[in-house]
Amino acid sequence: MELKEKRIREITLMYYSMPEIRKTILQFSQNRECIPQYYEGFGKRPDNFQYELDILEQVRKGATSFHCSEELWQDPLEISTEMKENEVNELRIGWDLLLDIDSPYLEYSKIYAELLIDVLKFHGIENIGIKFSGSKGFHIIIPWKAFPNEIYGQKTKNMFPEWPRAICEYLSETIKPKLIEKIYEGNLKEIAEKSGRKEEDLLIMECNQCHRAAEKKELVTWICESCKRLGEISRIEKNKRILKCPECGIELSEKTREKIWICEFCNINSYKSPLNFGTIRKGFIPGEDKSTQKERIKSEQDIEADLILVAPRHLFRMPYSLHEKTALASVVIDKDKIKDFQITDAKPFKFKPKNFYPNAAENEAKELLLQALDWKEQKQSKEQYLKSLTSPNLQSSIDKKDYQNIKITNLTEDLLPPCVKLILKGIKQDGRKRALFILINFFKSLGLDNQELENKINEWNEKNYKPLKQGYIRSQLIWHNRQEARLPPNCDKTHYKDLAVCKPDELCRQIKNPVNYATRKFFRGRRRR
């Protein structure tokens, strides 16, 4: 047995024999596919727990941890790989959104988790569960109850894994710029200490010619102490094999060993060309302005933390299940105390189990889902447009205008589409937050400056049946100001019908987005003039 396996097997039976642990695992397992892991291999699928003693029985057979599905099923034991898609959808009750944060550094994961919680709260989600993964990450859960049953004519429960994957991508893109700032605003030594790493692990050596990361090697100098005729021989070590003297055949003795850096792209090394290399903080080049740094880091994907995208029948470690590599428990923690979490808090037998699954409010995550789907659609449309530029058949100039920065200096009321005019008269029912989202994206896409936008939003808010709190509006404006301008939802989305503001005129039937309406009218008027 390996040391890690021996360590966890010594505690599994004692740990899972605790009634409160088994009770917590069993409660969370309801309507889920639950699979035991026998240190390295998993048990048969599908499987499920009926009683607490089922868990103990699996442990006696050698199970070290337990994993479950994000999807919720009427009867998990009926799942089969031979089922057709419509049969799977019929069996599926729904799905939870499980955000699986993956990073080689616990401190990075903590920063990512805190940012995720902030963004989720920003989207109106308060009931959030979070737990330690058992190693260096965290799991964040938003219950199925928080999502609407249907959007855009599609049953939400049938859109797994497409819709939760879209949410993961949207959140990841939203957080990444802020993550870069957070990780590197701290002291390098402090980060190294917290992550249990050396400072050099958080640094990279870059070639000053091509700005690629250099590879670390060791330059070893050998001598022959037997015949002493060879002198010194220096070589870059490629393996641990000891060289032999070509004169007398005796193994050489190592005289010195030093670290050097090699840029394989430029074919240079720091031993011969030391001025061509520079030690920099991970992801930063001295002398770069801040915006260039952010763009370069984003493009190089230098930050080693991300959300694991979900897949059909994706499994994750159950709350309070042990982790094979660390022998730590996947403990539930308070979402407001992520920064205070320490590895020692996850040691078995040193905690009282808490509920990982919060009692969510109905449709609490609807705004998040809608924004993620709109973001995904706009991203795909832009990618298709950029792809078309490389083909012989370019799209029309009108289509191209959709992806140019347009600034309308004199945005008069006659340029506004009917839906925006009606929204600006005030919302007389539920939907104020959705209307705010539409207005901010609409006016920002047309180049309205921040102060003018804030005045317009405040004026609109006073007309609502119940004005939104100023703090909420302010936070939305600040957040959108940090993001790239995005189009409001397309006209075929349910946002406008739900708000009862979809009253199309003749021009509305020719365009796809409210912004197109304003730009078409603007350019038509300019041509006439």
CA 510, 516, 520 angle in degrees (round to 5)? 80
Question: What pLDDT is stored for residue 489 in this prediction?
Answer: 87
User: Token pair for residue 290?
Assistant: 């801040």
pLDDT at 275 over 80: no
Total Cβ atoms within 10 A of residue 219: 17
Which residues have CB under 8 Å from 196's CB, separation 6+? Answer: 106
Confidence grade of residue 402 (pLDDT, cut at 50, 70, 90): very low
170 occurs within a structural domain: yes
pLDDT at 157 over 90: yes
Question: What pLDDT is stored for residue 401 in this prediction?
Answer: 39
Judge if 31 and 177 occupy the same domain.
yes
pLDDT at 328 over 90: yes
Confidence grade of residue 491 (pLDDT, cut at 50, 70, 90): confident
Burial class (CB in 10 A: 0-12, 13-18, 19+), 104: middle
379 occurs within a structural domain: no
DSSP code for 234: E
Q: Which of 406, 427, 443, 418 is nearest to 523 (CA)?
A: 406
Total Cβ atoms within 10 A of residue 63: 22
Judge if 427 and 467 occupy the same domain.
yes
The domain boundary residue, chosen from 299, 321, 344: 299
Judge if 433 and 507 occupy the same domain.
yes
The domain boundary residue, chosen from 299, 318, 334: 299
Judge if 95 and 177 occupy the same domain.
yes
DSSP code for 329: B
Q: What is the pLDDT of residues 38-72, one digit of tens each?
A: 988 899 988 999 999 999 999 999 999 999 999 99
What's the rounded Cα separation, in Å, for the pair 363 and 119? 17
The domain boundary residue, chosen from 299, 322, 349: 299
pLDDT at 371 over 60: yes
pLDDT, average across residues 19-44: 94
Judge if 155 and 46 occupy the same domain.
yes
pLDDT at 392 over 50: no
> What is the domain count for the chain?
3
pLDDT, average across residues 155-164: 93
* Residue 238 · residue 262 · CB < 8 Å: no
Return the minimum-mean-pLDDT range out of 5-14, 87-96, 170-179, 200-209: 200-209
Q: Is the pTM of this model over 0.85?
A: no
What's the rounded Cα separation, in Å, for the pair 228 and 200? 37
Confidence grade of residue 403 (pLDDT, cut at 50, 70, 90): very low
DSSP state string for 36-102: EEETTEE--SS---SSHHHHHHHHHTT--EEEEESEEES-GGG--TT--HHHHHHHEEEE-EEEEEE
Judge if 52 and 157 occupy the same domain.
yes
Question: What pLDDT is stored for residue 234 in this prediction?
Answer: 73
Judge if 104 and 214 occupy the same domain.
no
Judge if 436 and 503 occupy the same domain.
yes
Confidence grade of residue 382 (pLDDT, cut at 50, 70, 90): low
Judge if 335 and 291 occupy the same domain.
no
Domain range spanning residue 512? Answer: 404-528
What's the rounded Cα separation, in Å, for the pair 78 and 71? 14
187 occurs within a structural domain: no
Q: What is the pLDDT of residues 165-223, one digit of tens each?
A: 999 989 988 887 677 667 666 555 666 665 566 666 666 676 766 666 777 788 888 88
186 occurs within a structural domain: no
Question: What pLDDT is stored for residue 384 in this prediction?
Answer: 63
* Residue 121 · residue 336 · CB < 8 Å: no
What's the rounded Cα separation, in Å, for the pair 138 and 112? 9
pLDDT at 237 over 80: no
Judge if 64 and 150 occupy the same domain.
yes
Judge if 35 and 174 occupy the same domain.
yes
Question: What pLDDT is stored for residue 278 in this prediction?
Answer: 58
pLDDT, average across residues 364-373: 91
What is the C-alpha radius of gyration for the chain, rounded to an integer number of angstroms?
Answer: 29
Question: What pLDDT is stored for residue 398 in this prediction?
Answer: 35
Name the region of 287 (left: φ>0; alpha: ψ -120 to 50; beta: rest). Answer: left
Total Cβ atoms within 10 A of residue 389: 10
Which residue has 């990841």 as its token pair?
172
Question: What pLDDT is stored for residue 214 in this prediction?
Answer: 78
Judge if 314 and 295 occupy the same domain.
no
What's the rounded Cα separation, in Å, for the pair 484 and 403? 12
188 occurs within a structural domain: no
